[in-house]
Chain A
Amino acid sequence: MSVSVDAVSPSLTVDPSDRRKQRRTQKRRANVTGWTFVGVSTFMVIGLSIFPAAWALLISRRKWNLLSPPKDIGWKNYNTMVHDPDVWAALRHTLFFTALFVPISILLGMLIAVALNQRIKLVGFYRTAIFIPFVASAAATGILAGFVFEPNYGSANDLLRRLGIPPQPFLESPTQAMMVIVLIALWGQVGFTVVVYLAALQDIPKDVVEAAIVDGANRRQVFRYVTIPELAPVTVFTAVWQTITALQLFDLVYTTTRGGPIGSTTTLVYYVYQVAFQESRFGYGAAVSYGLFALTMIVTLFMIWYSRRTKIEAF
């Protein structure tokens, strides 16, 4: 009897194990499709960052010039690093750059963004002019800066002369070179902070501003009590990001001073470059780069912790 029922409608009764098998093949097919989409990218991103980052930790425990076989020396490189006066000098130069670059880029970025957010004529021209240095490469920027700040016939000294100020050595002076690099970095990077602040300004709800005006606030009060608090999260975000960028200054140093004069612009990353790629001390270079990574993490976490404590939600 049962046999005849099956014969009449075979498709109506499906063996439950068949259904499970079907679901399993479906799942397997979904997995294959999924990894076809993401596989190459995921593999490459991991292979070009997480894998080498982990490898760098191994390299940092070695004495290695890439030619002779590596020698495992434990944590000795890190010990050397802590007692290396060049590392401390590089750290000082890096922090000096960061301490100047980050606050100025934020203040300037905010100021310019507020100005560009006004209904005035020529705003399109101003915007283009301020953003365009962003596309200039570090190489081009470095060469151009070398020309503008050339002590004898550069336009910077020409301008000073017209203002009655004696000409300066700029990039050729150990005391001025880093400050000039700050200026050059600002020229190339302020566009970024301006864009971030412009976006944030346009996100400020209009009714909040209008309510403040109805309540009798003038323009300065609106800026002080509405705009600045509304911009606080973006400011924290920008400060953290600019700090991370500043601690890793390399390109501009390479294309302007190559660390000179007398090592006065050697930053930590430039020092890593020198140690590894000019002196072939790859193990030690990796150790210094891990030291900088740790410093960056500490500074970042501190800034995030501090902003959380002061109740500014940025992350």
Chain B
Amino acid sequence: MSLLRAVEIEEPSSTVPRKRGWLPFSGWHLLLMPVALLFALPLVQMVLTSFMTDAEINSFPPKFIPTSINLGGYQQFLTESLAPRWMLNTVIVATISVIAHLILCSTAGYGYARLKFRGRNFGFFAIVATIMIPTQLLMIPTYVMFSKLGVVDTLAAAFIPWLTSAFGIFLMRQFFLSLPKELEEAGMIDGLTTFGVFRRIVLPLAKPALATLAVFTLLNSWNDLVWPLIAISNQDNFTIQVGLTTFQGTRRTQWSALMAGNVIATLPLIVGFLIAQKQFVATMTFSGLKG
């Protein structure tokens, strides 16, 4: 579990001296260049194809670069579906999830890291135990629970699962444990309450951990498919992910519109990744564990 800490990718650490070979450049490029292209090119193609006309896409041999910039796909996707509504829904879901996650996980993480109270070990043990419960086991009972609570078919069904999480609490707790206690003790002596110490001393120090947590929540809530898929059937309350798959189901071959939809749904995260790559990579170590 030591892997759950936020990983910062440092400068390459290989210290083995390189042998001068028969290539004018390192042999590693022969591996990395094709791999990198294989990973990046589909996304480039997605963006380029979104600007083509369907006729151009269906032409043979396939074209990679559009002859002219055509916005027909975007127009079709935005007008023939409820896409603007779905995007708004997704933004709402992601915003609520991130804010709730930051508040709930940081307070709970601090409580379990520093405060002494009855039931603390039991509570923390219960939270750690939930990490082992897979999503697939929860699909049916959660749906039944949601339908009893009346949140099925509302946007709440999409964000309730992301309000707080065992991983978030765990991440914040580990971070708070790594802080020196002296600052908090000094705050106590200065007459701050426990909450005052948390607000004024601990939280400002926790910015890096909070950034990681925010990215983790943004990624998961933005890209979530399972919960909105099973719990929302009213088109008005779709998130962009569910909307996209429904749109895909009805327009199998209208690729320009589908690619435009893909670009719209993915671009915010891609831009976010390019801006804050460090935070995104830090969350990857445990985002992969979301199950």
Contact = CB atoms under 8 A, between A and B. Distances in A.
Interface of A: 30-31, 33-35, 37-38, 40-42, 44-46, 48-53, 55-56, 59, 66, 111-112, 115-123, 125-140, 142-144, 146-148, 153-155, 158, 187, 189-193, 195-196, 198-199, 201-202, 204, 206, 209-210, 213, 219, 222, 234, 237, 241, 244-245, 248, 250-251, 254-255, 268-269, 272-273, 276-277, 282, 285-286, 289-290, 292-293, 296, 315
A209 B15 contact: yes
Contacts of A137: 222-223, 225, 241, 265-266
B26 interface: yes
A49 B31 contact: no
Given A127-B9, A248-B291, A289-B137, A138 B225 contact: yes
A292 B140 CA distance: 14
Interface of B: 1, 3, 7, 9-10, 12-19, 25-26, 28-29, 31-33, 35-40, 42-43, 45-46, 49, 57-62, 64, 104-105, 107-108, 110-112, 115-120, 123, 126-127, 129-130, 133-145, 147, 160-161, 163-166, 169, 194-195, 198, 219, 222-223, 225-226, 229-230, 240-242, 244-245, 248, 255, 258-259, 261-262, 265-266, 269-270, 272-274, 277, 280-281, 284-285, 287-289, 291
> Can you list the 5 inter-chain pairs with the closest CB atoms, starting with the nearest?
A34-B117, A37-B111, A192-B288, A41-B108, A52-B141
Contacts of B35: 112, 126, 130
A131 B273 contact: yes
A130 B35 CA distance: 7
Contact of A53 (B9, B15, B137, B160): B137
A282 B230 CA distance: 13
B189 to A, nearest CB: 17
A148 B273 CA distance: 23
Given A44-B164, A45-B130, A250-B226, A155 B12 contact: no
B4 to A, nearest CB: 11
B96 to A, nearest CB: 14
A48 B39 contact: no
A222 B135 contact: no
A24 to B, nearest CB: 12
B252 to A, nearest CB: 8
A187 B255 CA distance: 21
A184 to B, nearest CB: 10
Contacts of B36: 125-126, 129-130
B230 A277 contact: yes
A55 B145 contact: yes
Nearest to B115: A34
A116 B9 CA distance: 10
A244 B146 CA distance: 26
5 contacts: A31-B119, A111-B31, A130-B35, A292-B137, A293-B137
Contact of B133 (A53, A130, A269): A53
- Overall SS of chain A's interface: helix
Nearest to B167: A45
Given A37-B111, A201-B13, A192 B223 contact: no
B141 to A, nearest CB: 4
A51 B130 CA distance: 10
A244 B21 CA distance: 42
From B38, B138, B141, B142, name the one whose CB has the most chain A CB atoms within 10 angstroms.
Answer: B141
From A35, A132, A191, name the one whose CB has the most chain B CB atoms within 10 angstroms.
Answer: A132
Contacts of B10: 202
B32 A119 contact: no
A193 B7 CA distance: 13
B136 A289 contact: yes
B141 A59 contact: yes
A158 B63 CA distance: 10
Nearest to A233: B2
B291 A129 contact: no
Contact of B136 (A132, A143, A272): A272
Given A34-B120, A137-B265, A195 B14 contact: no
A117 B13 contact: yes
A140 B32 contact: no
Contact of B266 (A33, A135, A285, A289): A135
A219 B284 contact: no
Contacts of A119: 12, 14, 18
B266 A50 contact: no
Nearest to B265: A140
A42 B108 contact: yes
Contact of B245 (A56, A153, A191, A255): A255
B284 A290 contact: no
A49 to B, nearest CB: 4
A201 B119 CA distance: 39
